[in-house]
């Protein structure tokens, strides 16, 4: 079954790498946003099946965006996987406190990312 994934990351390099990762997987469609504010707007408009979101971004960071997504009745059911370079315990705690479903550190291991996505999409 086709699943729509929203990638929210201010790094065009990261967005391109993710497009390459998901591009050869016919079961997934990737849409993207370049900061947290655009990510929240896109999540409400597109209603993706899953959101991959960077934490450190301009205009609105991933923690704030995740919190807004989880507060909105239209998007609260969507799993949000936060991605960050920071793996220190306080950051992980803040991530889960914002409502995220999972927390992964960059650089991402492709197999681990795929496994986490499949877990949250019920595959």
Per-residue pLDDT of the chain (123 residues; tens, 9 = 90+): 789 999 999 987 777 777 767 766 778 888 999 999 999 999 999 999 999 999 999 999 999 999 999 999 999 999 999 998 887 888 889 989 999 999 988 877 788 888 999 999 987
> Is residue 47 in some structural domain?
yes
- DSSP E strands in 1-117: the ranges are 3-8, 28-33, 50-54, 80-84, 102-105
Task: Provide the domain limits for residue 40.
Answer: 3-77+97-105
Query: Number of C-alpha atoms within 13 angstroms, CB side, residue 106?
Result: 17
Sign of CA dihedral 16, 21, 22, 25: positive
Q: How far apart are the first and last CA of the chain?
A: 10
> Is residue 11 in some structural domain?
yes
Sign of CA dihedral 79, 116, 1, 15: positive
> Is residue 113 in some structural domain?
no
> Is residue 110 in some structural domain?
no
Length, in residues, of the chain: 123
Domain with residue 61: its CATH number is 3.40.50.2300
| Number of domains present in the structure of the chain | 1
Separation between Cα atoms, residue 85 and residue 73, nearest integer Å? 30
> Is residue 120 in some structural domain?
no
> Is residue 123 in some structural domain?
no
């Amino acid at each position: 079954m086709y699943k729509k994934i929203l990638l929210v990351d201010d790094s065009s390099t990261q967005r391109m790498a993710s497009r390459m990762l998901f591009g050869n997987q016919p079961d997934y469609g990737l849409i993207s946003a370049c900061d947290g504010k655009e990510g929240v707007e896109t999540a409400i408009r597109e209603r993706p099946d899953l959101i991959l979101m960077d934490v450190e971004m301009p205009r609105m960071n991933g923690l704030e965006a995740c919190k807004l997504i989880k507060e909105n009745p239209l998007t609260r059911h969507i799993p949000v996987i936060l991605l960050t370079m920071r793996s220190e315990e306080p950051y992980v705690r803040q991530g889960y406190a914002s409502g995220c479903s999972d927390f992964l550190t960059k650089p991402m291991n492709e197999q681990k990312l795929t496994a986490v996505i499949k877990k949250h999409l019920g595959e």
